[in-house]
Structure 1
């Protein structure tokens, strides 16, 4: 068994600002969990502002500017902005990535070259959104590959997404070649989801023997945070926080909640549905409900406030795509929803990581477009909530709390370190 305090980990990530994306939130929680387990953690980040994470050495990889790729990237952006000429399709189909991407990657490489591989026991590259700049950078440093855990939060490239998100991105061929190199050269491949690991191994067989499932972590930063003023205390509060991207339509949820209100007269006076976060794809749909006081829509709150909302909710929502039968994703919020120990209403495809974890016997799950089933589940939850003392209103899934715990992450990291020894 390795001693954590003697193990040095280097984490390379795009951003450590949890306010800029759900991916950054998950990555910061991951880093904090490593620190909490006693590892010595150095973080190289490309946030472009000086940020710190308590307990870690955080090093900003500064953007290089005295080079050709930076100049070309600036010219491309200026021409596109002033003349409306979009060169990105041609350039990315030719080179796979933008000039800015290449400059960002090289900026990270230059920072990495200031460190010695022998000073670290494991190098972890973290991704967010469609950005795998840290992975691209580490590929340029062959000596680092033997200690490299490439963490992959979502399918990549975009042509490898399941329905309904499938489309062919710019530079698809080159991006595929890039990720084949990641699969070939990384020592370990980390995934937040078992289904995602299997899904990606279908495209890149090299991942199959290298895969390690490390679920998203819980970041408890809600102490001293006030709830937003729109939140209704002592009510039956059904909360969704986060981005409702295209494909994650809330139509079935909205109709289901309306049916629930119509079927439970008493509930109309004390039940509220909160959709908190960006939802521009569904502005017209949501406008049909905004005049009813039980529907509360808000464009977004701070990360800490979103965690506080989940803590105070009666029921937390996980909303996935409705027009698909497969979802390999593990929503980053699930770790927190499990840890705050409130019932979860999962609107997920029948074959999904969320359902795999909750189990077939978990009754509060439905496909996202089944409004009648959603209404029935909400009615059951409401009646149970009415007859349950507040201190007893719990999800009560210690198995999932163990799975999302820092102790489980520590176990997975120790297994990797032992395999590397």
Structure 2
């Protein structure tokens, strides 16, 4: 017997970036497991990134329902269009470099819109969906955040209709890295924690993307928590020729605090000490890069080796992943980021290019890279081993044998992950 599942999400094509991919792929494969997804999205969203090519991935026969949303970013742009757009992307300047307008935007965002700037969508969504759920006999409602205000929609619907509610956390709530930068008052901080606890204790089932987040949430709730990571899907992008240069590419945003100066210093030393490396090396940034990162690179004299491509479509990003000699993955060096598993990791893993990752100790990313044999993971104080590994990869490039040799990737395929989700529904 087929079931229906109502999926409440903010990010949906033509939204770009990693947040849209998770549920786009779940929706693609759920019908294979006798579940018909119905997707509820805003009719007039304010997406910081747009990728029209993702519209081609929306299943032809999926039911999509929409409701208007009022968002403060449109009004904030009257103060500063540039700063409101970067804040909505999550690009936050170092505190000592923040302008008065950026400080004001962050304070208002953190204290007047709790849990986030989409909280105004909660009430009209609950009113609309109550009738829809009853009319179409929907038993399961799934909310996915961030934005975590969408979980409040699930909370109200469960109370009123007693539906089976699954809360999917793509990122943590109160412990996510940027939370401390929102200039929260004690009252606002307490409200965030109270709402988080209410959601975690009320949902019938909780889904997280990492083991670290599961451990964190288990301290707050005794509700069942399942780990379903992000994953990779079959793509139809023709494999390009490998770059002739020794290219290292980072795909995705490089925020202010995601700035591994140890890596830039190592690259500077290799360029200085090895003339052939200096001739062959290129560094590619595909996505938004903070001024802080670019300044660090400039100060070390590496700017001539950098190629900035800005935000590109998902298909173009896949091309960069497949043609680059080495793929860079960087996370902030903090205990709070141990649970963050960038969606691009899984596409990196099937690109057959080695991954060079830097991040905190005991992270989920470190474990996944080790178990799949897809690259090397370093801490921010691993200067010498990082340097020797890049030189080792460079020598493999020179002899034409640089390639990753992955194992056990199948469990991270989107279809395998959707099967796990279907069992929860």
Task: Tell me the TM-score normalized by structure 1.
Answer: 0.78
Deviation at 1:411, TM superposition (A): 3.5
Which residue of structure 2 aligns with residue 44 of structure 1?
Answer: 40
Which residue of structure 1 aligns with residue 87 of structure 2?
Answer: none
Indicate whether 1:333 and 2:344 are aligned. yes
Q: Residues 91 and 62 of structure 1: is their aligned pair in 2 closer, same or farther, counting only changes over 3 Å?
A: closer
Task: List runs of 5+ in structure 1 lacking aligned partners.
Answer: 65-69
Indicate whether 1:247 and 2:257 are aligned. yes
Deviation at 1:166, TM superposition (A): 7.0
Which residue of structure 1 aligns with residue 152 of structure 2?
Answer: 136
User: Is the partner of 1:10 in helix, strand or coil?
Assistant: strand
**Cα distance in 1 between the residues matched to 2:337 and 2:69:** 39
Which residue of structure 2 aligns with residue 298 of structure 1?
Answer: 309
Q: Residues 138 and 365 of structure 1: is their aligned pair in 2 closer, same or farther, counting only changes over 3 Å?
A: same
Indicate whether 1:366 and 2:372 are aligned. no
Q: 1:308 aligns with which of 307, 310, 319?
A: 319
Deviation at 1:221, TM superposition (A): 4.9
CA RMSD of superposed structures (Å): 3.7
CA contact under 8 A between 1:96 and 1:172: conserved in structure 2?
A: no
Indicate whether 1:179 and 2:190 are aligned. no
Q: 1:403 aligns with which of 391, 411, 418?
A: 411
CA contact under 8 A between 2:231 and 2:346: conserved in structure 1?
A: yes
Indicate whether 1:350 and 2:350 are aligned. no
Q: Residues 233 and 353 of structure 1: is their aligned pair in 2 closer, same or farther, counting only changes over 3 Å?
A: same
Which residue of structure 2 aligns with residue 125 of structure 1?
Answer: 143
Indicate whether 1:214 and 2:214 are aligned. no
Q: Residues 314 and 32 of structure 1: is their aligned pair in 2 closer, same or farther, counting only changes over 3 Å?
A: farther
Q: Residues 256 and 29 of structure 1: is their aligned pair in 2 closer, same or farther, counting only changes over 3 Å?
A: farther
Q: 2:126 aligns with which of 86, 109, 132?
A: 109
Which residue of structure 2 aligns with residue 61 of structure 1?
Answer: 67
CA contact under 8 A between 2:168 and 2:207: conserved in structure 1?
A: yes
Q: Residues 290 and 45 of structure 1: is their aligned pair in 2 closer, same or farther, counting only changes over 3 Å?
A: farther
User: Is the partner of 1:40 in helix, strand or coil?
Assistant: strand
User: Is the partner of 1:48 in helix, strand or coil?
Assistant: coil
Over residues 273-313 of structure 1, what are the superposed CA-to-partner deviations in whole Å (9 max), with x where a residue is unaligned?
21222222323213335765433233322232112211222
Over residues 324-375 of structure 1, what are the superposed CA-to-partner deviations in whole Å (9 max), with x where a residue is unaligned?
5861111111111112232111112221010122238967111145343222
Deviation at 1:12, TM superposition (A): 0.7
Task: Tell me the TM-score normalized by structure 2.
Answer: 0.78
Q: Residues 17 and 289 of structure 1: is their aligned pair in 2 closer, same or farther, counting only changes over 3 Å?
A: farther
Which residue of structure 1 aligns with residue 387 of structure 2?
Answer: 375
Report how many residues are paired. 389
**Cα distance in 1 between the residues matched to 2:303 and 2:191:** 49
Q: Residues 360 and 407 of structure 1: is their aligned pair in 2 closer, same or farther, counting only changes over 3 Å?
A: closer
Q: Residues 163 and 14 of structure 1: is their aligned pair in 2 closer, same or farther, counting only changes over 3 Å?
A: closer
**Cα distance in 2 between the residues matched to 1:39 and 1:263:** 59
Q: Residues 268 and 90 of structure 1: is their aligned pair in 2 closer, same or farther, counting only changes over 3 Å?
A: closer
